Amino acid sequence: MEQLTFFKKYFSWNPKTWLTNKLIRLSVIFFGAFLSIFCLSFSPIVANTSANIQFVSPSWIEENIKNPNLKILDVRINPLEYIDGHLPQAVNIADNNFRGPDGFLPVQYWDSEKIVQIFAKAGISNNDKIVVYSDGTNVLGATMVAYLLERSGAKDIAVVDGGYKGYKDANKIVTKEFPRYDLGKFSLKDNPSVRINLKELEPLIGKQGVVIIDPRPADLFEGKTNLWVRNGHIPGAKNIPWPTFTEANNPNEALKNPHKLKSLDDIKQILASRNIKPTDNIIVSCSTGREATLQYVVLKHLLGYPNVRIYEGSWTEYSTTDLPVETGPEKTT
């Protein structure tokens, strides 16, 4: 009733009060416009989180190879391996081309402009279905590039499980022909939700519900190997060496294809045994940010854990600070 009285008073026609009412109406309109702009200015930026990374089989490649939107990246480091044989239509761009010094730290991702140029020269556009593979003993090269694609705004990404060796051993078609292709139209759309920096990491160390996974070998984790400025690990980190997620220790598979992924059920059991839950705030930190990408892809994309990020600086950066360091085996609670 009070609202109705207000509108009758200020928005109905009355010659005596027309000018006053008009000024009030204009004030209401301008205030509403200002409020809208204010709210938009302070709305949170929505991260580009709709990307999908999957592991695909050699048979999947065979079934989808003729898809015109399918682009294949061979990220093996030795170009002679590519020349000797590769998947049909694959373009070779070695995974170590995506990183270099940043003015202080080594092996950091290049700036946006250079990343865009590399992907575009490889024929990649944002809306392509992008498949990445390396050899059978370098799954990290493939997962690193897959992670970088997601980080850069690509949406539909896949890693060939078992790499080139697994594909070839499955008796699928390989070729020595170099593909002819147009340059891609790749525009970088940064996805900050996939990573965390040192400033953001520091207040999370030791917090309840935060799990830091360190996928390095035990000797590096424990500080036994004198490799870094300081040796050891971030306090409270859990050591799950990245080969734990692969068939590297399976005597029936290791000699054939050590970097083929374990079953997701097996990986779930590994995580459960370490008390790592889907609800945890998970940060993966390794030596240079490369090893972390395998566990990131598995946890976030294959298992669907919603809160997984990579500390890209990893031990390369952390070891240069004066932040706390632990040595020795992982502490159990």
Question: Could you read off the pLDDT of 297-330 as tens digits, one per residue?
Answer: 999 999 999 999 999 999 999 999 999 999 999 9
Question: Could you read off the pLDDT of 174-187 as tens digits, one per residue?
Answer: 999 999 999 999 99
pLDDT value of position 270: 97
| 39 included as an active-site residue | no
Hey, what amino acid is at 130? I
pLDDT band at 256 (very low <50, low <70, confident <90, very high): low
Distance CA 191, CA 168 (A): 34
pLDDT band at 331 (very low <50, low <70, confident <90, very high): confident
The SS3 assignment for 223 reads: coil
Distance CA 150, CA 127 (A): 12
Pair 26, 171: CB distance under 8 Å? no
Q: Which residue from 178, 140, 136, 163 is spatially nearest to 58, judged by alpha carbons?
A: 163
Q: With a cut of 60, say whether residue 241 has pLDDT above it.
A: yes
For 40-49, 59-68, 227-236, 294-303, which range has the lowest pLDDT when averaged over its residues? 40-49
181 φ/ψ angles, rounded to the nearest 5 degrees: -155, 160
Q: With a cut of 90, say whether residue 275 has pLDDT above it.
A: yes
**Which of 130, 276, 286, 298 is an active site residue?**
286
Q: With a cut of 80, say whether residue 25 has pLDDT above it.
A: no
Using alpha carbons only, what angle is made at residue 257 by residues 237 and 304, rounded to the nearest 5 degrees? 45
* C-alpha dihedral (61, 64, 65, 67), degrees to nearest 10: -150
Question: Could you read off the pLDDT of 192-214 as tens digits, one per residue?
Answer: 999 999 999 999 999 999 999 99
State the average pLDDT for the chain: 87
Question: Could you read off the pLDDT of 137-177 as tens digits, one per residue?
Answer: 899 999 999 999 999 999 999 999 999 999 999 999 999 99
CB burial of residue 147 (10 Å; 0-12, 13-18, 19+): buried
